[in-house]
Amino acid sequence: KAGVTQTPRYLIKTRGQQVTLSCSPISGHRSVSWYQQTPGQGLQFLFEYFSETQRNKGNFPGRFSGRQFSNSRSEMNVSTLELGDSALYLCASSLSPGLAGAGDTQYFGPGTRLTVL
Amino acid sequence: KNQVEQSPQSLIILEGKNCTLQCNYTVSPFSNLRWYKQDTGRGPVSLTIMTFSENTKSNGRYTATLDADTKQSSLHITASQLSDSASYICVVSEGGYQKVTFGIGTKLQVIP
């Protein structure tokens, strides 16, 4: 069974540009969550999608948005990039929604390393 | 504000030795606590998940403990191996699964 895949793996952009990251969950998983990881802040929750609906959102500005398609694949978009957006963006999938679902494990992808110059 | 603090920030141990990583949290109401292992350049992998009623959970050489009264958890690694070199992240979920709080992680290096 294939794991969570994320594309692209690496990305370099300049300030002011926008970027779209893609995540394909494990087959059969309908919940997809996005996280930002930086050395100073650690992992921070961006948002969670289940059945094409955003169920939960972290404390990030509106420049960060996402969506989920009917096949459970998800995209994350960041507009008007800032230097501080440089980070590893991780996607995780699980069978059911809710980050606190007891016994339901989240499976993470390898991440997309975004560098903003 | 809900917080998860992990200690130490980094740790170097000799192969074959045991070690214990700590996680203290202030998240309330508590739902569950997870430990993840993250190898360099890869996404985190779940090691254990514990709910309020569980005190101990093992996964091979990894044993997690939880004291919900003192809001402390520990991850004990037995007979460390070079492949244990990674960051270990503690994650606490708030009741109602509306929020999760991540620790910054402990970076473990196992040397021969």
Report the SS3 class of residue B84: helix
Answer yes or no: is pLDDT of A42 > 90: no
Answer yes or no: is pLDDT of A104 > 80: no
Q: B34-82 pLDDT, tens per residue? A: 999 999 988 999 999 898 888 999 999 999 999 999 999 999 999 999 9
**A70 min Cα distance to partner chain B (Å):** 24
Range with lowest mean pLDDT among A48-52, A81-85, B75-79: A48-52
**DSSP string for B1-28:** ---EEEE-SEEEEETT--EEEEEEE--S
The answer to whether A11 faces chain B, any CB pair under 8 Å, is no
Q: What is the dihedral of CA A96, A102, A108, A113, to 10 degrees?
A: 100
Residue B29 pLDDT: 86
Report the SS3 class of residue B95: helix
Residue B94 pLDDT: 81
Q: What percent of chain A has pLDDT over 90?
A: 74
Q: Which residue of A has its CA nearest to B29?
A: A100
Q: Do B31 and A105 touch (CB under 8 A)?
A: no
Backbone angles phi, psi at A37, to 5 degrees: -125, 125
In this complex, which of A42, A90, A98 lies closest to B105 when CB atoms are compared? A42
**B44 min Cα distance to partner chain A (Å):** 6
Hey, what amino acid is at A52?
E
- Element of type H or E holding B96: none
- Do A86 and A14 touch, CB atoms closer than 8 A? no
Residue B42 DSSP symbol: S
pLDDT band (50, 70, 90) for residue B98: low
In this complex, which of A100, A102, A107 lies closest to B94 when CB atoms are compared? A100
pLDDT band (50, 70, 90) for residue A115: very high
Q: Round to whole Å and give the CA distance between A87 and A70.
A: 28
Residue A8 pLDDT: 97
Residue A100 pLDDT: 43
Average pLDDT of A8-32? Answer: 96
Answer yes or no: is pLDDT of A15 > 80: yes
- Do A21 and A81 touch, CB atoms closer than 8 A? no
- Do B7 and B22 touch, CB atoms closer than 8 A? yes
| 3-state SS track over chain A | CCCCEEECCEEEECCCCCEEEEEECCCCCCEEEEEEEECCCEEEEEEEEECCEEEEECCCCCCEEEEECCCCCEEEEECCCCHHHCEEEEEEEECCCCCCCCCCCCEECCCEEEEEC
Both tokens of residue A18? 């926008």
Closest by alpha carbon to A84, among A6, A2, A7, A13?
A13
In this complex, which of B31, B42, B89 lies closest to A43 when CB atoms are compared? B89
Which residues, other chains included, contact B65 with Cβ-Cβ below 8 Å and sequence gap of 6+?
Answer: B55, B56, B73, B74, B76
Residue A99 pLDDT: 56
Q: How many CB pairs under 8 A join A and B?
A: 54
Answer yes or no: is pLDDT of B1 > 80: no
Residue B97 pLDDT: 54
Mean pLDDT of chain B: 92
